Amino acid sequence: MSKKPLLVMAAGGTGGHMFPAQALAEQMLARGWRVKLSTDARGARYISGFPDAVEIEQISSATFARGGIAAKLLVPFRILGGIISAKVKMLSDKPTVVVGFGGYPSIPALSAAWILRRPRMIHEQNGVLGRVNQVFAKRVDAVACGIWPTPMPAGVQAFDTGNPVRAAVLEREGAPYIPPGDYPMSILVIGGSQGARILSDVVPGAITKLPEDILRNIRISHQARDEDGHRVAEFYSDHGIDADVRAFFDDIPSRMADAQLVISRAGASSIADISVIGRPSILIPYAVAAGDHQTANARGLVDAQAAVLIPESKLTIESLAENISAILTQDKAAVAMAAGARTVGRPNATGALVDMVEQLAQKAGHNA
Ligand SMILES: CC(=O)N[C@H]1[C@@H](OP(=O)(O)OP(=O)(O)OC[C@H]2O[C@@H](n3ccc(=O)[nH]c3=O)[C@H](O)[C@@H]2O)O[C@H](CO)[C@@H](O)[C@@H]1O
């Protein structure tokens, strides 16, 4: 009996790196692969949705983005320690393929794979190559992109796979859209995997400015950061608005399918989910995201006239209320937006990524 091929995935930091890894794991297991995930403490918060068969390996976090000077000075040593321990593990595991999803937690596994010449690739979720992926783009066998085209360093050929979405999102692919009308309507408000303060500051006020006939029919699902949740819930309740406020919804796919409108940051997986399920959206890209990548991520939906983009600098209670009201009072236009979103959706992204992994394995002489 031949040994199962082994995929090692390296992802962590934010949900944005973890959800595409989860989607890939789901399908690689179904293809008979063993799957290991190397992640940090922040990534570990998102492993509950991963299939049980995925073997989890927690590595110590290392990032220059947070912490004091002392912590930052330690980062190179932590990374070096991580690379050495990844190399030791890789010498015995001999992974068939290693895939990095970007961010600092992908450095140890990708570096070890590079040193040991194991087949390796990266997946970039955003329309701008992240810092870690920039370093590895020339040191891997293949580069997959979630947004197309994403500018690459000279000499790097990339492949357009799209951004993988989880199985629970695929189950709602093309779920019928109920246009806005004189009946209960839902608005879903999401700020990426960690919530966004600006949405808690502006959305509730904008909702109260909606015309009375919309207001009496509206139900809000609002993801707010832990520290903002109480005031947001209290505001909605003081204004008699039916709202469910939580730090994280585990059932986003069904809430999104039920929504007449999604108000969201433009993180890669949020955009991918909105596109595959197909819902009208108002997008507020995170202004300080590296290389303004959230604006690049939003481009596809905006070009398909499926989304309205409001830059943070233009976001006011009034501008948001106007845009919400315009979408919820024009049912035909809302239906066209939902259909436009679907044209951008990439339900086969995970399959394309799986094919890349298996081609890499075959090229390296492993008959997966
Ligand atoms: C602030 C920041 O730097 N964000 C980055 C982070 O995204 P971030 O981690 O914020 O998240 P994404 O938007 O990529 O993905 C969020 C995922 O969480 C889901 N969700 C959200 C809220 C909730 O309550 N429940 C739930 O399940 C969404 O449906 C989506 O699938 O990594 C992404 C991929 O590199 C980048 O594009 C983002 O710019």
Asked if residue 66 and residue 208 are part of one domain, the reply reads no
What pLDDT does 114 receive?
97
Any ligand 1 atom below 6 A from CB of 217: no
- List, for residues 199-220, the tens digit of each pLDDT value: 999 999 999 999 999 999 999 9
In a domain, 100, yes or no: yes
- List, for residues 69-86, the tens digit of each pLDDT value: 777 778 888 889 999 999
Strands (E) across the chain are located at 6-10, 34-39, 55-58, 97-100, 120-124, 142-145, 158-160, 185-190, 218-223, 242-246, 261-264, 281-283, 307-309
117 annotated ligand-binding residue: no
Any ligand 1 atom below 6 A from CB of 340: no
217 annotated ligand-binding residue: no
- List, for residues 288-315, the tens digit of each pLDDT value: 999 999 999 999 999 999 999 999 999 9
DSSP β-bridge partners for residue 190: 264
Asked if residue 90 and residue 43 are part of one domain, the reply reads yes
Asked if residue 352 and residue 340 are part of one domain, the reply reads no
**Dist CA 140 CA 107 (whole Å):** 12
What pLDDT does 347 receive?
98
348 annotated ligand-binding residue: no
Asked if residue 321 and residue 219 are part of one domain, the reply reads yes
Q: How far is the CA of 22 from the centre of ligand 1 (A)?
A: 13
Cis peptide before 211 (omega within 30 of 0): no
Any ligand 1 atom below 6 A from CB of 289: yes
Asked if residue 177 and residue 157 are part of one domain, the reply reads no
193 annotated ligand-binding residue: yes
Residue 194 CA, closest ligand 1 atom number: 10
Q: How far is the CA of 264 from the centre of ligand 1 (A)?
A: 10
What pLDDT does 368 receive?
47
Name the residue with the closest Cα to ligand 1, atom 20: 193
In a domain, 273, yes or no: yes
Asked if residue 309 and residue 354 are part of one domain, the reply reads no
Q: What is the ipTM of this complex?
A: 0.98
How is 229-263 classified by DSSP, letter by letter? HHHHHHHHHHTT-EEEEES--TTHHHHHHH-SEEE
Number of independent structural domains in the chain = 2
Residue ranges making up the domain that contains 330? 170-344
In a domain, 1, yes or no: no
Asked if residue 320 and residue 185 are part of one domain, the reply reads yes
In a domain, 284, yes or no: yes
Any ligand 1 atom below 6 A from CB of 5: no
Sheet holding 307-309, edge to edge: 242-246, 218-223, 185-190, 261-264, 281-283, 307-309
Question: What are phi and psi for residue 8, nearest 5 degrees?
Answer: -105, 125
Any ligand 1 atom below 6 A from CB of 267: yes
Question: What are phi and psi for residue 39, nearest 5 degrees?
Answer: -140, 170
32, 204, 258 from 219: Cα distances, Å: 43, 12, 11
- Give percent above pLDDT 90 in the chain: 87
Any ligand 1 atom below 6 A from CB of 19: yes
Asked if residue 154 and residue 193 are part of one domain, the reply reads no
Asked if residue 156 and residue 141 are part of one domain, the reply reads yes
What pLDDT does 3 receive?
85
Q: Kindly state the tokens that stand for 121.
A: 């690739």
Asked if residue 177 and residue 159 are part of one domain, the reply reads no
Q: How far is the CA of 68 from the centre of ligand 1 (A)?
A: 26
Q: Kindly state the tokens that stand for 131.
A: 């810092």
In a domain, 143, yes or no: yes
DSSP label of 314: G
Asked if residue 358 and residue 327 are part of one domain, the reply reads no
Asked if residue 143 and residue 46 are part of one domain, the reply reads yes
Q: What is the CATH number of the domain that holds 72?
A: 3.40.50.2000
Arithmetic mean of pLDDT, 168-187: 96
